[in-house]
Amino acid sequence: MFNTSIYQHLRRSCQNIAIPLLGCILLHCDLSIAQTQQYPNKPIRLLVGFSAGGSADSSARTIATLMGDALKTRIVIENRGGAGGSIAAQIVSRAPADGYTLLWSSPGALTISQILEKNLSYKTETAFAPIGLALTYCNALVSRTDFQFNSIAQLIAYAKDNPGQIKYATQGVSSAGHLSGEMLQVMSGLKLTHIPYKGGNEIMTALLGNELQLGFVSSTTAGVMRSRIRILAVTSLHRDPSLPDVPSLHESGVSNYDANFWFGLLAPAGTPPAIIQRLNSLLRETLSNPEVTRVVKAQGLNPAPSTAQEYTALIRADYLKWKKVISPAN
């Protein structure tokens, strides 16, 4: 038989517990809303995983200046180069999720590191809240003007018959150029010899000095050196705006080849959605600014604004794409 007195006692006990608990929850929500509405009330750190002076750094500074002006605060660039951007990513992954520590990243720290590094302290899918894609860029495959092959088809035919004899230069292991070369080999069944250099200038010196036959360099470097080299193709799926007369590798017969790269903005996981949305809106607005477009395009970068959800999907898709190319199992 149901005991009414016990039921009433339990009901009063639950009420005594529930009311303070509900009050705490509501107070926490009120504080979170207030913090979001006041955001930002101090400078914001933007960590860039590369040293000062490169395209990652200069593009971040260009965009951070305008976003800071719109937010009525300073966005302070902090360069933490090393490990392909993973050092900066580690710092941001451990930062408070309050919108005051952000990450400017390329695929290196978010996808490539997840494939190649076994002991990283963070997992991209759980450590970050993507804010938005910002810029895309590609590489160009270049040769000397006296290179014996004028087309990708001729190059592939020779390389298949002479495995390992063609040497290609890049900006280093796991760089955009190296990834581009690895994808070309996987998708074409080739065997090329990779020669890493420190940057585009060293690659050009080696190429013109007849130390190697091919190089993957930025579209900007290729454009500047055009009078002294031959640009065979670009690595993006479609033609790059900075080199509109140069075909893509996809157009040149390597069907569905797409080695396109990007920079994007992220926050630590758990950052309030209202802050993510506000930063995304400002990022998209900044990327539509004609002056920003002019500056970044001069660096070989293409504005590519997105929603936070679209950027999240791109990171996942890139992980799967590059895993097929550079997985240790390969």
Q: How many Cβ atoms sit within 10 Å of the Cβ of residue 59?
A: 22
Q: What are phi and psi of 266, to 5 degrees?
A: -140, 160
Position 83 scores a pLDDT of 83
The whole-angstrom separation of Cα 190 and Cα 109 is: 27
Choose between 124 and 22: higher pLDDT.
124
**Cβ burial 228-242 (10 Å sphere, 16+ → b, else e):** ebebbbbbbeebbeb
What is the C-alpha to C-alpha distance for residues 239 and 62, in angstroms, rounded to an integer?
25
> Residue 19: pLDDT band by 50, 70, 90 thresholds?
low
Q: Give mean pLDDT, residues 140-161.
A: 94
Select from 158, 160, 140 the least CA-distant residue to 149.
158
Q: With a cut of 60, say whether residue 10 has pLDDT above it.
A: no
Helices (H) and strands (E) in the chain, counts: 13, 11
Q: Name the pLDDT band for 118 (thresholds 50, 70, 90).
A: confident
Distances (CA, A) of 114 to 68, 95, 117, 121, 179: 31, 20, 6, 10, 14
pLDDT of residue 9: 57
Q: Locate all alpha helices (DSSP H) within the chain, ordered by sequence.
A: 4-38, 55-71, 86-93, 107, 113-116, 124-127, 152-161, 176-188, 200-208, 219-224, 273-287, 290-297, 308-326
- Whether pLDDT at 229 is above 50: yes
Q: Cβ distance 120 to 113 under 8 Å?
A: yes
Q: Which two tokens stand for residue 181?
A: 């070369």
Residue 5: partners with Cβ closer than 8 Å, 6 or more residues away: none
Note the pLDDT tens digit of each residue in 49-71: 988 888 899 999 999 999 999 99
What's the mean per-residue pLDDT of the chain? 90
pLDDT number for residue 33:
58
Tokens of 259: 């080695």
pLDDT digits (tens, 9 = 90+) for 23-35: 444 444 444 555 5
Tell me what the mean pLDDT of segment 150-171 comes to.
94
Reported as a pLDDT band with limits 50, 70 and 90, residue 329 is low
- Mean pLDDT of the 274-278 span: 98
- What tokens does 284 get? 């998209």
CA–CA dist 113, 318 (Å, integer): 12
Question: For 248-263, how does the pLDDT look when each residue is reduced to its tens digit (9 = 90+)?
Answer: 999 999 999 999 999 9
Structure token digits, residue 302: 């293409």
Domains and CATH numbers, the chain: 43-137+261-326 (3.40.190.150), 139-234 (3.40.190.10)
What does 280-291 look like in DSSP terms, one character per residue?
A: HHHHHHHHT-HH
pTM, full prediction: 0.85
283 versus 150: the higher-pLDDT residue is 283
- Looking at residue 2, its pLDDT comes to 45
Name the DSSP letter for residue 142.
E
Residues 161-193: pLDDT tens digits?
A: 999 999 999 988 888 999 999 999 999 999 999
Neighbours of 203 (CB within 10 A): 28
SS3 304: coil
Residue 140 β-bridge partners: 217, 234
- What is the spatial distance between Cα 84 and Cα 133, in angstroms, rounded to a whole number? 18
> In sequence order, which residues have a C-beta less than 8 Å from that of residue 160 and are 6 or more positions away?
188, 189, 190
Q: What percent of the chain has pLDDT over 70?
A: 88
Residue 93 has pLDDT above 90, yes or no: yes
